[in-house]
Structure 1
Amino acid sequence: MKMDIITMEDLRQFKTELLQEMKDIIGQGMEHQQNGEWLRSAQVRKMLNISPGTLQNLRINGTLPFRKVGGTMYYSRVQIEKILKGE
């Protein structure tokens, strides 16, 4: 049975590569947000003229789908427009 020894340098390199991949993935998500496809909570509350509690209720009861990245909630502009149209 062959055994590979992992050194501290191997772990540091793995950490660096993993962090870079995570930054790339998050960066792609932010590009979508900048294109207007995804909105933050404050933007949604302003569009719908609702309080933070009402927005939370919409999330909890499933009326408004969302994605959580880190500690930030993102909402699809398309879904919000459907709500505004009453669909």
Structure 2
Amino acid sequence: MKVEFLTKEDLLELKEELIAEIRRYSPFYRKKNEQVKEWIKSSEVIKLLSISPGTLQNMRLKGIIPYKKIGGLIFYRYEDIVEMMKTEL
């Protein structure tokens, strides 16, 4: 069995590649002259991160992802999502 080691540099490179891919395919990321949505709904975050509603709720409860509740809707800043992904890796 061949053993391969991952270095911190390997992980940082992977992180940058993942973020680039998310930006490439994200409907929320700015394309040439388009505006990024500043606030997105829970359903959009779930789709963007490919997570379940329960996982998103746990992230809110643990303080991993900041949010604002207006009426019965919960909104997240797109930039907070991007920052959370950068720091969580």
Would you call these one fold, judging by a TM-score over 0.5?
Answer: yes
Query: Which structure carries more helix by proportion?
Result: 1
Q: State whether structure 2 residue 30 is matched by structure 1 residue 50.
A: no
Consecutive aligned runs of 4 or more in structure 1 exceeding 3 Å deviation? none
Identity %: 46
Match of 1:63 in 2: 64
TM-score scaled by length of structure 2 = 0.56
Separation (CA, whole Å) in 2 of partners of 1:36 and 1:81: 13
CA offsets 1:26-61 (integer angstroms, 9 cap, x no match):
xxxxxxxx9600000000001111000000000000
TM-score scaled by length of structure 1 = 0.57
Q: CA RMSD in A?
A: 1.7
Q: State whether structure 2 residue 84 is matched by structure 1 residue 83.
A: yes
Q: Flag structure 2 segments of 5+ consecutive residues without an equivalent.
A: 1-34
Compare CA radii of gyration and give the structure with the larger one: 1
Separation (CA, whole Å) in 2 of partners of 1:48 and 1:57: 14
Q: Flag structure 1 segments of 5+ consecutive residues without an equivalent.
A: 1-33
